[in-house]
Structure 1
Amino acid sequence: MAAIRTANPAAGWAGPGQARAGSSVDWLTSFGLVTVVALLFAISGGMLWLVGYNYDGLTGNPATKIHPSTYLLILVFAWRACTFGNPVGYMVAVADRRPASALMAVMSIVLLVVVIARQRPGMAGMIDTFVAPALLVMMLAEENEKTFARMQTVVHAIMTVNALLALFEFATKTLIFPYRLDGEAFMTDLRSTALQGHPLSNATVTSIYVLALLSGSKSLSMPLRLGMIGLQCAALVAFGGRSAMVLTIVLGGCYLLIQGLRGLRTGRVNLLGAALGLILAALVPVVIAVAASYGFFDALLERFVSDSGSANARVEMFDLFNHLELRDVIVGPDIDLIESLRRISGLEQGIENPIIRTVLYQGAFFTLLLFVGFALFMHEVARRCHAGIWLLMLGWLILLNTSESLASKTTLMTKFVVIALVLYRPVRGGVRQKVRGLNPRS
C-alpha cells in the first residue's frame, strides 16, 4: 500500500489526513454532487423563467445565462478543494487522475477569454457546455461508491418522472413548463417539454438513456429495464425527435440482435429471458397497432412528412461558405455578415450541425482546438466505463451532429457524462476497489 501511495504525484500536496485524491469524500461534497445531478436533470429553462431566471433568453442579467447546477458544481468543487487540506493540491490530484478533463476545462476557460475579447457570441455556452462536464468528471475521479449509487437513483427517478410528464402533456395537449425564449412561449409547438425543456433536448437525453438501459444499468433487473425502456420509447414519440427515434430503433435493434446471436453462439441462453423476449415480440406489434389506431403516432409521422425546412437547412448551411474568404473561415467572419447570410438563406432557426456552426461563428482554428479537447475528453470518459459504453458513445456522437448541440449553450454533455459514468460503472470487488482508490490513475 505504501508503494502505491507514494506513486501518487499529488500526495505531497495533500493536507493532514488527506493523503490521496481517492479517499472518501465528506458528506457535504457527496450531497452536493447528488444535488447537482438532480438540478441538472430536473430544472429546465421554462421552470427557471417562472422564478424570474431568464436562462434560455438572449436578454437580461448575464449571470442568469448559466444553469444553477453549474453554479452549484463550482461551489462544491471549491468546497472539496478546501476540505482536501490544500486547494492547489486537490486540483493537482484530480488533474493527474483525469488529465483530459483538466485539459478541456483549462482550454475552455482560455477560449472563453478569447470569445469575450473578440466580442463573439457563446460566452455562457463555454461554461455550461464544456467547463461543467469537465469539472464533474474531475470530481467523480474520487469514485465514492455511495455517491455513485445515489446519483444512479436520482437519474432513474427523474427520467421516469420526465417520461410520465411528457406523456401527460402529450395526452392533454398542455405544456406544464413550455420552452421560452425571453419569456415568449412557443405554444403552437405542442411537442412535450417535460423537465428537460426543449423537445429536441428531451429527445436526445431520452434516446441516450434508452441506449444506456439496454447496454448499461446492470444493477437493474431485466423486467424492470424492459419496462423502463418501453416507457422511455413512448416518451420519445411525445417529444417528436425524428433523429432520436430512428437512432434508438436502429442502434437498439442492432444491439439486441448482436446480443441474441452471441447468446446462441455461446449456448448460454436464459430460458426465462428467452420466454420473456418471445412474449414481448408477440405483444409489441399489437401494442403499436392499437396505439396507431388511436392516433398516438400521428404527430411524429407528421414531423417526418413536413419537417419545417429542417432537412433543407442541413444543405443550405454549406452554401454559407461560398460567401466567405479563407481568412474568415480560419479566424471567424464578421458576426453581422453571418447573421445576414443566415436570414437570406432561411437559416434563422439554427445551423443544425455543431462543427459547421462553430466554424462559422468562431473560426476553424478555434473549432479545431475544441474538437481535440472534446475527443480526448470523450476517450477519457469511455475508459472509465464498462465495455457496453460503445453503444452509448456511438448514439451520442451521431445525435450531436443532428442539431447545433455543443455549438450553443447546452447542458447535454454534462447529462451524457452523468449517464455514462453512473450507469456504465464497472463492477469492482471490495479489495480491488480499495486498491483503485489509492491508484492515481484509476
Structure 2
Amino acid sequence: MIYVLFILAVFSATFLNSNISTVLGYENNVTTVAFLPLTLFIIIQLMRKKIVILKKDNNSSRYVLLASILILFFKLSYGQYDMFKTILLFSFIPYTFAMYLEHASCKEKTVLQNVLIALLVTECLLAVYERVTLTVLLSTEETYSSMNRAGDTWSFRSSALFGHPLGNAMLVSVINIYILSSNLSPLRKISCFAIAIIALLCFNERGNIVITLATSLPLLIKLYNDASKKFRRKILWVCFPLLLAGVVQLPQSDLGGRLFNEKSGKQDNSTMARLEALTAFKYLSTSEVLIGGNNLNDKVADKMDLAAVENGIISILLDYGIILGILLLGLLFCFQKDKLRVYPWWNKWLILLLFYGIGFTNPHLSNPMQWFIFVCAYYAFRPNLKNKVYGRK
C-alpha cells in the first residue's frame, strides 16, 4: 500500500502540477491535486519514523527546513499569509521528501527514474507536436498568445505541460544533465539528450540551449571515451552525420528559431530585460527590499514595463527579502553542493553551472517546481556508489 502511495505521490507531484490539472477541471486546485498524495506520504513516513530529521546525513536538508520555519514565522508576523503555500512547496515538501529519498529502496529509485524519464519524453513530444502544428495544446490561447504574437514560424515557442517555454526548458535541461551524469546505458543517455535538444529548440529559448549544450558536451565526450569500440563506431556512423546535418540545416530553417534568425535580435529585447532585472530594487522602498513579498515581482515588472523579472535570483530575493532570501539561497546551494559530492568535482560544477546559469536568466528559478525536480532528479539518477565520495572542490 505504501509503495502504491509512493508511485501516486511521485506521479501526481510531477505530472499533475501542470496544465493537465487545468484541462481536467482542477484549475483552482492544481496544488492540492498535485501535492496531496506526496504530503500524505510524507506524514505517514514521519509517523513510521522512516523520515528522521535529526539523522546526520540529513543535516543540509534540516538547515533548509529550519530556515523555512524562520521565514514562515517572519512572513506571517508581517501579515503575508499568501506566502504560506509558496514556502510549503519551495522548502518543506521537497527537502522533507529528500530525507526519505536519501535511503529509498532500489525499487523506489527505479520508479522515480521512470516517472522522470516519462515526464521528459512527454514534455518533448508535446513540444515537437506543437512546433510542427504551430498550435498550443494545454495552455489557453489567451494566456499564451503574447509569447507568439509575432506570428512568424521562427518565433513560435511550444508550451508543453507547464505553459511557459522558459519553465519547460529549464526542467528538461535539469533532467537531461542528470541522465548524462548517471549510470544509465550510453544508448539511453544519447536518446534522452537528442530529444531534449530537439525540445529546447521547440521551446525556442536561446540562453537555455547554449548553456545546455555547453554543460552537456564534456559529459558526451566522457560517454564516448568510456564506450566500447563497437558503440563508438555506431556513434561515428549514425550520430555524427545527424549532428553535422543539424549544424548545417538549423541556421537555414525556422527550427533554428531565435537562436539563429537575424530578426531575433531586432524584435526581441530579452537580453536588455535580463540586465534591467539587476536594477529591480531601485523601484522598492527599504522595507520592501528587506521584507520581500509575493507581489513584488509583479510590481517591479510593471514598473519596468516587462512581462516578468528575468532573473531567478532577483525573483527569489523579491519574494523573501534581501536578508532571509540570501540566507535561504545560501542554504539551498550548500544542500546542492553537499549532495553532489558523489560526482567527480568537474561533473558537480557542470550541474550547478547549468542550474544557476539558466536560473540567472530565467524567472522560473523562483518556481518551487524547478527545485523539486532538481531534488527528485538527483536521487533518481544518483550513481550507486557505496561509501565513495569524489573531490570536494
Return the TM-score normalized by structure 2.
Answer: 0.83
Deviations 1:57-108 (A, max 9, x none): xxxxxxx3635333222100111233x2xxxx55545644312212212322
Partner of 2:129: 168
- Per-residue deviation, 1:138: 0.9
Contact 2:89 2:368 in 1 (8 A): yes
Partner of 2:40: 75
Contact 1:355 1:367 in 2 (8 A): no
SS in 2 for 1:297: helix
Partner of 2:199: 235
- Per-residue deviation, 1:223: 2.5
Deviations 1:294-324 (A, max 9, x none): 5322355458425643222222233343455
- Give the aligned residue type for 2:370: L
- Out of 169, 179, 198, the position equivalent to 1:203 is 169
Partner of 2:336: 378
- Out of 41, 51, 58, the position equivalent to 2:24 is 51
Partner of 1:6: none
Partner of 1:224: 188
* Whole-Å separation in 1 of the counterparts to 2:191 and 2:277: 40
Contact 2:176 2:193 in 1 (8 A): yes
Instruction: After TM superposition, list the pairs within 5 Å mapping 1:23-422 onto structure 2.
Output: 28-54=1-27, 64=29, 66=31, 68-82=33-47, 84=48, 89-92=49-52, 95-120=55-80, 122-178=83-139, 184-189=142-147, 190-216=156-182, 218-220=183-185, 222-257=186-221, 263=225, 270-279=228-237, 280-290=239-249, 295-298=254-257, 300-302=259-261, 304-306=264-266, 308-322=268-282, 329-332=289-292, 342-347=301-306, 349-383=307-341, 388-407=347-366, 409-422=367-380
Partner of 1:7: none
- Per-residue deviation, 1:340: 5.5
CA 99–67 in structure 1, closer or farther in 2 if over 3 Å, else same: farther
CA 124–270 in structure 1, closer or farther in 2 if over 3 Å, else same: same
Which 4+ residue blocks in structure 1 deviate beyond 6 angstroms?
333-336
| Number of equivalences | 376
* Whole-Å separation in 1 of the counterparts to 2:255 and 2:5: 40
* Whole-Å separation in 1 of the counterparts to 2:255 and 2:217: 22
CA 54–381 in structure 1, closer or farther in 2 if over 3 Å, else same: farther
CA 197–386 in structure 1, closer or farther in 2 if over 3 Å, else same: farther
Contact 2:124 2:195 in 1 (8 A): yes
Identify the range of structure 1 (365-374 vs 188-197) with the bigger mean alpha-carbon deviation. Answer: 188-197
CA 174–313 in structure 1, closer or farther in 2 if over 3 Å, else same: same
CA 80–157 in structure 1, closer or farther in 2 if over 3 Å, else same: same
- Give the aligned residue type for 2:357: I
CA 91–38 in structure 1, closer or farther in 2 if over 3 Å, else same: closer
* Whole-Å separation in 1 of the counterparts to 2:42 and 2:293: 37
Contact 1:329 1:360 in 2 (8 A): yes
- Per-residue deviation, 1:134: 0.4
CA 326–298 in structure 1, closer or farther in 2 if over 3 Å, else same: closer
Partner of 1:438: none
Between structures 1 and 2, the one with greater helix share = 2
Deviations 1:104-158 (A, max 9, x none): 1232233123223323464322122222210220111222111101211222123
Aligned identity (percent) is 19
CA 70–341 in structure 1, closer or farther in 2 if over 3 Å, else same: closer
* Whole-Å separation in 2 of the counterparts to 1:117 and 1:376: 27
* Whole-Å separation in 2 of the counterparts to 1:123 and 1:307: 39
Greater RCO (Cα-Cα under 8 Å, separation 6 or more): 1
- Give the aligned residue type for 1:317: A
* Whole-Å separation in 2 of the counterparts to 1:165 and 1:334: 31
Q: Which runs of 5+ in 2 are unaligned?
A: 148-155, 389-393
Q: Which runs of 5+ in 1 are unaligned?
A: 1-27, 56-63, 434-442
Larger gyration radius, structure 1 or structure 2: 1
* Whole-Å separation in 2 of the counterparts to 1:425 and 1:255: 14
* Whole-Å separation in 2 of the counterparts to 1:140 and 1:248: 26
